[in-house]
Amino acid sequence: MTEMVEAHRARVTALAARLDAPSAASERDAIRAELIALGKGLEHDLTELTSLKEEAKALVERWKSLQGTVAPSFSAERPVVVDHIGASTFIEKGWSRISLGDYIGAEESLTKALQLVPNDPQAESLLGWAQMLQEKYDEALMQFQKVLMREPANALARINLGYICLKKRIFGEAIEHLSRAIRLDSDRKATLYAHFYLGLVYLERDMFEDAQTFFQKTLVLGPNLIEAYYELGKAFWFNGQRDEALQTWQEGFTANKFNPWGKKCAEVLKTVEEGGEP
């Protein structure tokens, strides 16, 4: 990519020199043709790079699925900010780096943005995402609390706080934030994950029937969230409902046998059929 950039830069430099030359007027048409060719070349390479960037994002999503309890998938909109002494550059860079899975780089960019524009809500929210996805739960908790102080109806911030409280085993607060997100019902993804995480909270507390209710609603809202099949099977199993558990894990594997959680459903099926425990 460096070679490609340098090649375009060399063409720009050469054209600038031709425009400054005494013969520029007589070469006007030739220079115009070169400028058009340069623009087309840049447009083509930008299209290719954009396509590669989207493929890289897809790889990041596949990598995320390798972790244990799935974190909320990053879904913040591309920031639209008025430039405050360069802060917008750092906010945009932070958003882009989170999208590509570079959470450390994102945290650095967003910290710089907040040094330039303290208390900017977009920068605070994005910084919370970057810290949460690094499992810096205490720092992320503070950022999302700041966001909710200004925007109590921010459903995505609510589910992120609920997820963090789940990971920190602060179950009462997790239930409060996740239930609030469900009542808000202002963001489809937030509502989906709020049900899923409430299922996990009740599973952790051995309240298996409540967990089943939330996992089942999760699958109604998002049939492609395959990890909900896996966790629902556990809720059935530990509640003594062996047949329902086996059926649920089979459904999860059938729904997407290539998904890491679909494969986990197949693995746990094999384990229990061989007399083991999930």
Give the whole-angstrom CA distance, residue 212 versus residue 241: 11
pTM: 0.71
Give the model's confidence band at 23: pLDDT under 50 very low, under 70 low, under 90 confident, else very high.
confident
Indicate the pLDDT class of residue 222, thresholds 50, 70 and 90.
Answer: very high
As a whole number, mean pLDDT of residues 143-150 equals 92
Domain range annotation of the chain = 214-278
| pLDDT (tens digit per residue) in 29-60 | 788 788 778 777 777 777 777 666 666 655 65
Q: Which contacts qualify for 65-74: CB closer than 8 Å, 24 or more apart?
A: 65/259, 65/260, 65/261, 66/260, 69/166, 69/167, 69/200, 70/227, 71/132, 71/133, 71/163, 72/132, 72/156, 72/159, 72/160, 72/163, 72/189, 72/193, 73/189, 74/98, 74/99, 74/129, 74/133
Runs of H (alpha helix) within 185-241: 188-204, 208-221, 227-237
